Chain A
Amino acid sequence: MHEQLLETVETLRSSNYLRLDPSLVARILELEADALEARSGSGILAKLEQTIDQALAAASDS
């Protein structure tokens, strides 16, 4: 995963989107980076949705 890309997104998150969990954002970028070479058949949408649902569940539990 590209370090600079992560840094850029994290800087923006920490200034404008504090309600988003940094680990959720990092995970989404990681999933997108992994799916970059083979988009079709990667199940990226399902993986993203699952990650987001898990983050929402964790937030409501806490």
Chain B
Amino acid sequence: MRLNKLRFHNFGPFYGDQELDFGEDNGVTIIYGRNNFGKTTLLNSVRWLFVGKFRERTGETRANADLVNRKARKEAPDEPISARVIADLTWKDTDYILTRTVTLDGSRTQVSVDVIRGVDALSREQSQALLQSMIPEDIQQFFLFDAEDLNRYEDLLHHSSAGEELKGAIERILGVPVLKNGVSDLRELSRRHNKIIAKLQTADAAANSAANSLAQLNEVIDRMLEDKQQIEDDIEEATAERERIETELKKSEIARRALEQHRLCEAAYHDAHTGYDNALEAFQLVAPHAWVAVATARLEQELSTIETELTELVKAQRQNDRATLLAELRAEIDATGNCPCCGQPATNADHDPPSSGTDLSEAIATLRHRRNTIQRVLDSSKTAVLRERQSALQTAEMILHDKRTDLREAEEEVEDFGELDHSIADMPNQLNNTKLRLAHLQQDLSVADNSLTDKQQAAHDLGKVVAEQGGEEGQAATRKQQMLTDLEELLDSAIATYRNELKNRVETEATEVFLQMRSNPDFIGLSINDDYGLAILNNDGELEPQRSSGYEHMVALALVAALQRCAPVQAPIFMDMPFARLDPEHKITTLEAMPSVAAQIVLFVHEGEVNHAQATQALGQSLVVERKLLQHSSRHTQITTLEGG
């Protein structure tokens, strides 16, 4: 399947009509967006479109009514309003337009699915069946996933109920149930056929006696089948109960973590607020000098003028002082005839005494006062402090904004959980009991299966005896019974063979992708177990007993890639925050390996995980589309083109 375009109408935070065009070529599409901008909603929009479910991180399903954009609802509170996801895609060389719509009309919520194949609109039943075929619900987890869920694949390494479930889904995507169902159906046809054989009229007394025995045996088999069905129903019920308890426990664990996160966010917000208040106060102390920054150039020019003027005045004042001194000396000589310095008789000077000028000291004092004032204002230490405090205030403001956003997100997450059920304390015990019951039921089923197989074999042998004596009709019945048996045996033996071949192929394909991602040269491949769990193979021939969460992540991605390559169902892969657990080096190697995971991949990341430059460098031509989520408000996110992208 190739997805050409996704269109949204008032879906989640995607207000109005918006679209995500995947371009003409296959490759990697990256959607950048900060937390709470709608990345997970985009991932879920695809899940909702195909399987009708919007899965919360808690594992619960969001109500359809809550999918409609809140801003749009607020704008028309009394009118019917719809949210819609539309996919334009190509599947098996045919173009399709799939639409899922939820409409709110008062207290009524209605969901509809429409499919257009080529130019033909399909019926409701046809549409539902087609969506199931494109991405069946139980295997959608291999196409649409939150990368944080990738650690689930670790369950395959340890025999557990979760691992069993995942193994079932893996076998489902690889087509094993085709064989298993075939065996089961052919066995059922044999059983029915034996009933027909038991009614054959023969002339042979022994054959008639065998026919009677067969009829009785068929009744026993019918009862055994009813018992087996009851056990299977009980298993289904116990499995649902186990899943319910596990979901509750998971929810309580997530709620506990969310509450803890909320507490930390509150403390961080409080600290940030204190930091902001302090920075603001410090800034306000120097703020009266803020105008200096504006007047600095003018003041510096004025200061320079004053300095020049002052130099001139001081010089003139000095000349004045000298002239005054000389005039005073002359006057004394004139009066006494002696020099006032040495007391010797003085002669008349030939030249005129210098004339003294105006007293400039007052003007100089005024200028000096002005100069000092300007210098104080321009004091470089004060402007530096001002700049420093302004910068500190801006930083504190940014931190406060981030912490406020974190707190708001944490509050929303806590709100999602509502009141925690206090009965949660007893749930681990309930889970253990349910698991124990399941184990017993599985044992009962195995015993019932073995007994049934024995009885069916006996019925088959009796049927042969009867049919051989049943004339032409009996011969035809024998041939049919033989064909049914042959087909059943063939498909039964194919199950083990096919599983082995699949495991070898999955191991080979996963190893190829893993080697592209790993940087540790000691890791030379992956080794698969019977449950499709993959372990890392060291170059000393041993399996790695422990691995980091980053390597867990890479191994899981390698498995997903291998399943894509081996499965008959091909579809685009959507991954939310795929690099969150990886270090910078492995982010790049994993990004480089992405084109080999699937033909079409859509990644939802925040720019702290991977940015445009890294994506371009790592993916080259394989990077086909980049988009950015822009949040106008918590009720309105817009899908925009990436600047430079």
Contacts and interface: CB of A to CB of B under 8 A. Distances in A.
Interface stretch (B180-188, B360-368, B609-617): B180-188
A24 B141 CA distance: 34
A40 to B, nearest CB: 12
B197 to A, nearest CB: 15
Interface stretch (B255-263, B403-411, B488-496): B488-496
Q: Which of B136, B181, B182 has the most CB of A within 10 A?
A: B182
Contacts of A49: 189
Contact of B483 (A5, A39, A55): A55
A9 B491 contact: yes
Contacts of A60: 476, 479
Interface residues of A, dominant DSSP: helix
Nearest to A47: B185
Given A13-B490, A36-B178, A5 B484 contact: no
A32 B483 contact: no
B182 A16 contact: no
Contacts of B132: 37-38
Nearest to B499: A8
Interface in A6-38: 8-9, 11-13, 16-17, 19-20, 24-25, 28-29, 32-33, 35-38
B566 interface: yes
Given A2-B568, A4-B566, A56-B480, A28 B487 contact: yes
B494 A12 contact: yes
A37 B136 CA distance: 7
Contacts of B189: 45, 48-49, 52
Q: How large is the interface on A (under 10, 10 to 19, 20 to 34, 35 or more residues)?
A: 35 or more
A28 B182 contact: yes
B501 A4 contact: yes
A6 B180 CA distance: 14
Interface string B125-144: 00001001100100000000
Contact of B175 (A19, A33, A53, A55): A33
Contacts of B476: 56, 60
A8 to B, nearest CB: 5
Interface in B455-503: 476, 479-480, 483-484, 486-487, 489-491, 493-494, 497-498, 501-502
Residue from B175, B181, B186, B491 whose CB has the most chain A CB atoms within 10 Å: B175
B471 to A, nearest CB: 15
A4 B179 CA distance: 12
Contacts of A55: 483
Nearest to A5: B175
A39 to B, nearest CB: 7
Enumerate the 4 nearest inter-chain pairs by beta-carbon distance, A residue then B residue, closest first. Answer: A2-B175, A2-B568, A37-B132, A8-B498
20 contacts: A8-B497, A9-B498, A12-B490, A13-B490, A17-B490, A24-B487, A28-B182, A29-B178, A32-B179, A32-B182, A32-B185, A33-B175, A35-B181, A37-B133, A52-B189, A52-B480, A52-B483, A53-B480, A56-B479, A59-B479
Interface of A: 1-5, 8-9, 11-13, 16-17, 19-20, 24-25, 28-29, 32-33, 35-39, 44-45, 48-49, 52-53, 55-56, 59-60
Interface of B: 129, 132-133, 136, 174-175, 177-179, 181-182, 185-186, 188-189, 476, 479-480, 483-484, 486-487, 489-491, 493-494, 497-498, 501-502, 505, 566-568
